[in-house]
Amino acid sequence: MAILKNLKTFKGGIHPAEQKALTEENAFEIMPTPQQIIVPLSQHLGKPAKPLVKKGSEVKTGDILAEQDGFISCPIHSSASGKVLKISTDSNVSGFPKDAIIIQTNDMNESLFLPPLDFDKVTSEEIIERVKVAGIVGQGGAAFPTYVKLTPPKDKQVEVVILNGCECEPYLTRDYRYMVERTEDVVNGLRLIMKALGIKKGAIGIENNKPEAIKKLNDAVKNFPEITIEALKTKYPQGAEKMLIKAVTGKEVAPGKLPFDAGAAIQNIGTAIAIYDAVVKGEPQLTAALTVSGKGIKNPKNLIVKIGTTISDIIEYCGGITEDAVKIVVGGPMMGVAQYDFSAPVMKATSGILVLTSDEVNSHEQTACLRCGMCVDVCPLNLTPTRLARLTQLEKLEEAEELGITVCMECGTCTYTCPASIPLVQWIRLGKQSVQTLQRARQSA
Query: Cβ 440 to ligand SF4, closest distance in Å?
Result: 21
Query: Least CB distance from residue 269 to ligand SF4, whole Å?
Result: 22
C-beta closer to ligand SF4: residue 309 or 413: 413
Q: Which is nearer to ligand SF4, 284 or 332 (CB)?
A: 332
Choice between 40 and 259, CB closer to ligand SF4: 259
Q: To the nearest whole angstrom, how small is the minimum distance from the Cβ of residue 379 to ligand SF4?
A: 3
The b/e string for 344-375 (b: 16+ C-beta within 10 A; e otherwise) is bbbbbbbbbbbbbbeebbeeeeeeeeeeeebb
Extended beta strands in 144-286, E state: 160-164, 201-207, 227-232, 264-268
Least distance from ligand SF4 to the Cβ atom of residue 378, Å: 6
**Closer to ligand SF4 by Cβ: residue 253 or 414:** 414
Which among 37, 48, 92 is positioned nearest to 72, based on CA atoms?
A: 48
Residue 300 or 431 having the CB closest to ligand SF4: 431
> 27 — phi, psi (to 5°)?
-65, 155
- How big is the CA angle at 93 (ends 56 and 417), to the nearest 5 degrees? 175
The single-letter code of the amino acid at 309 is T
- Taking the least distance from each CB to ligand SF4, the nearer of 37 and 378 is 378
Chain contacts with ligand SF4 (rule: CB under 6 A): 369-375, 379, 381, 383, 385-386, 408-414, 417-420, 422, 424-425, 428
- Of residues 326 and 409, the one with the C-beta less far from ligand SF4: 409
Q: How far is the CB of 393 from ligand SF4 (least distance, A)?
A: 12
For the stretch 24-35, what's the b/e string if a residue is b when 16 or more beta carbons lie within 10 angstroms of its beta carbon?
bebebeebebbe
With CA atoms as reference, report the closest residue to 344 among 31, 10, 43. Answer: 43
Which residues in 91-102 are b (16+ Cβ under 10 Å) and which e? bbbeeeebbbbb
- CA dihedral sign, ordered 353, 96, 429, 327: negative
Tell me the C-alpha distance between 6 and 365, whole Å.
40
**Shortest separation between residue 377's beta carbon and ligand SF4, angstroms:** 9
Residues contacting residue 43 through CB under 8 Å, at least 6 positions apart = 74, 76, 137, 143, 307, 347, 348, 349
- What residues contact residue 223 under an 8 Å CB cut-off, 6+ apart? none
Minimum Å gap between C-beta 390 and ligand SF4 is: 8
Taking the complex as a whole, the smallest distance from the CB of residue 243 to ligand SF4 amounts, in Å, to 10
Given the complex with ligand SF4, which of 59 and 424 has the nearer CB atom?
A: 424
Neighbours of 167 (CB within 10 A): 31
In total, the chain counts a number of residues equal to 445
